[in-house]
Amino acid sequence: MSTITRGQRSIEMKIIRGEILSIDEKSELHVRGGGGGSYVPVESSTPVIRPIHISSSTTHTREVWVKREDGVEMPIMLNDQEIKLREGNQLSIVVAADQRKMAMAYVHNHNTQRGYSLATAREIADRFSLSHNPSGWYIIGALALGAVAVFISFLIMALFLPFMLSSDAVAILVLVAAFIMGVIPLFKKYGAVYDTHEKCISEVSQALKAVTGEAAEPVSAPVTV
């Protein structure tokens, strides 16, 4: 088990071991259609037939019931068809959990000796909000601050320093400098937030790698059902 703490938030990365009791697989076919019918254009007496468009998609769901080492039975959803499972297989499931929710990150089938990644370190960090994920709003905010700085500088020159506006070169230089001074603080903030977020992801990645390696180790004894 590994604990990751960032500020007031913390998650545990632990292993749940157990044996598959049953697998319930379902497939649902969704069919959508449109078009059809006909109409007669004003300029012609020949009817025009609209083509019919039909599309379909299939949704697969797979509920797996696992009996843990402590005897508790729990259902998990493993919908990915690439994950090969059958009743009686021994599983080690790596989960990330806090006091409110739990997310599966990795599952290892000891009978097939194959492991499957269910979530990346970045996805886990974002799902549990371990750090603030920088977004494009920082850049938009920086540009907006730069525009405000330019506007304020222009007003100051127009009201108190009109001689600066008489020289295009000086005015442009001042406005460009104002824009740069306006955007720098928020860009620095963006950089700091980005660095913190990447360090958090790196920490989660190291913990996930360690726990995943432990989950892949052979099971000492089968779970008694």
pLDDT at res. 92: 93
What phi and psi, each to the nearest 5 degrees, are found at residue 214? Answer: -70, -40
Tokens 């108190």 label which residue? 160
Residue 224 pLDDT > 50:
no
> What is the percent of the chain with per-residue pLDDT over 70, rounded to a whole number?
67
Position 132 confidence tier, pLDDT thresholds 50, 70, 90: low
- With residue 31 as reference, give the H or E element that holds it: strand 9-35
Angle between helices 168-215 and 136-160 (to 10 degrees): 160
Q: Which pTM value belongs to this model?
A: 0.62
Residue 196 pLDDT > 60:
yes
What phi and psi, each to the nearest 5 degrees, are found at residue 179? Answer: -65, -45
Rounded mean pLDDT of the chain? 78
The pLDDT tens digits of the residues spanning 35-94 come to 666 666 667 777 777 777 788 877 888 999 999 999 999 999 988 888 899 999 999 999
The pLDDT tens digits of the residues spanning 113-131 come to 999 998 888 888 888 877 6
Residue 165 pLDDT > 60:
no
Name which of 29-43, 60-74, 96-110, 177-191 the model is least confident about.
177-191
Distance CA 85, CA 111 (A): 9
Q: Which residue has the higher pLDDT, 164 or 77?
A: 77
Distance CA 129, CA 33 (A): 41
Domain regions of the chain by residue span: 2-129
